[in-house]
Chain A
Amino acid sequence: MPLRQGIVSIDKLRCDAGEVCDIAIKIYHGAYDEDEKIEAYLKFDTSYYVAATEVKMISHNEVLASFKIPDYLPSSSEAIYPSLLVSTEADGAIILPRALSLAQDSVTRADLGVALWSIKEKPELFAKDYFAYPYRNILVETLRCLYYHVPMWFSMMLLFGISAWHSLMILLRKEWNRSDRVYAMNAVGLLLGILGIITGMVWAHNAWGKFWSWDIKQTTSAICLFMYAAYFFLYAGVRDEMQKIRLTSAYNLFCFAMMIPLLFLIPRMMDSLHPGNGGNPAFAQDDLDNTMRLVFYPAVVGYMLLSYWIAQVYYRVIRLHRATLDR
């Protein structure tokens, strides 16, 4: 499944009002013909546009757009950050949000700026209707890792949540026979967590350049896995059965209580490269379109059910083992 077209990068970071701004634009999966009519716009807010005076094709995936920036900007701020749009009849429009900064010396003539940026006919922009994955900056082709990495973490959370519930029932209602379920859920949950971290590392290597960047989400996820790995050492370190069940259940609940702020609260409030944390938008809201959602949502449900089934089978193995030993 190919990715849609997208704007990879531009060579300008800043232009000034009243000047001519030549921007070289690199396009992902660009396939422009020499005689194709390419249009480019700078768009600010929802209704202010500046059309490019000239768009020249440098290569099949690079164009040079020339903009005459009006003398005033449609805002009383010293700088605005318009989006860049490139549009063709064949492939539709592609956008780079907050592409560059436009600065102005005078901030008192926003009214003139509004008049200069309002064009008589809004450009007819459309997204080409075909089956392709969305283009996302930085991620690009690695977007496909989403199908593996995220469902594994969802499944891990489900299994750890179920095991915390069983631990609670053990402690509150003294239902001691639930301890084997806790063990099985934690074992399969830990396996899924390790696989989730490995797939995340592969994704990070391709998207961020390094397997491990000490990103806060990576770090806190590893800490959570260490915590649950220590559960098995505690399990092995207590011989008395009732004592083992009580202590491991209490420790399991403590780990679950610590995992919630570690995985969900702290990464969201710190600087992070990870989507959904550190001020980055969460993935599924704006970064997916319905092409990926068609596979992603069933994948999440499928992994959750599969992992629960595996944990159930492992629980039955533990029970059989215990029954064999008791004979």
Chain B
Amino acid sequence: MNWTRQWILIKYDFLLDFRHRFSIGSVVLYAVFSVFLCLIGYQDPELEAWNLLYWILLSFSAVIWSINVYAKETAEHRLYYFQLVRPQELWLAKWISGTAFLMIIAAMLCLSLMALSYDPVVDWPRQIAAMALSALALAAILSFTSAIGSLSDSPAVVSSIISLPLILPVLLLGQYLTGVAMDLRDPSAYMQYMMYLAAITVISSGAAIVLINFVWKN
């Protein structure tokens, strides 16, 4: 693992995302629009519904982001990258930039839900920690599944179908963690659930690092 090359790749990924900020921004717009759409009919959601809405909208926004991750890369791009860098380094760069982007999406969702309804969060440090760790987990899983999906005949459909079951455990744990921050769940199990989420992140990223080699060799 060449860390200099890795750091350059990460910076390059952020730079590319910034250059394509309008297509990235479309995902943010989708997220905010979905919040608007949901709250038109359900203007004052209960606490449980607020939590659930947040996670449903985050998962769909994350899946839409994942479809776009490799969508801009052609076969020539992939050959070029293959000659320069290792697949693991490429995936790691996508993971880190994906985590940052999903944090932005999560923050936008949270802020727009709060602005259009109310602020249910009681414990902000726990909320932010839960959002950060779940963004890390989602990015790890989605960057791998979108790598697989991008090589299929219909990348959008295949990426979303194969990624949705894999992000369900993250949703399961995440909705508990943000529930604790909103005083909906028992806080004594918070650290335990954070460790489970961290374990899922480690297992999925470990499997992705090993398997991305085989996926990328075309």
Contact = CB atoms under 8 A, between A and B. Distances in A.
B209 to A, nearest CB: 11
Contacts of A239: 153
Contacts of B208: 254
A152 interface: no
Contacts of B158: 233-234, 237-238
A253 interface: yes
Interface in A223-280: 223, 226-227, 229-231, 233-234, 237-239, 243, 246-247, 249-251, 253-255, 257-258, 260-262, 265-266, 269
Q: Which of A219, A234, A243 has the most CB of B within 10 A?
A: A234
Interface size class of B (residues with CB under 8 A): 20 to 34
A257 B148 contact: no
B165 interface: yes
Interface size class of A (residues with CB under 8 A): 20 to 34
Interface string B182-211: 000000000010001001100110111001
Contacts of B154: 237
A243 B148 contact: no
Given A243-B151, A253-B207, A219 B200 contact: no
B165 A261 contact: no
B166 A265 contact: no
Interface string B162-193: 10111011001000000000000000000010
Contact of A258 (B157, B164, B166, B172): B166
B215 interface: yes
Given A237-B154, A254-B208, A261-B200, A220 B162 contact: no
A112 interface: no
Given A237-B153, A266-B169, A230 B215 contact: no
Contacts of B165: 223, 226-227, 229-230
Given A234-B148, A237-B157, A257-B203, 7 more contacts: A227-B165, A233-B158, A234-B158, A238-B151, A258-B200, A258-B204, A266-B169
13 contacts: A223-B169, A226-B165, A230-B162, A234-B162, A237-B152, A238-B153, A247-B152, A250-B148, A251-B148, A254-B204, A258-B207, A266-B196, A269-B196
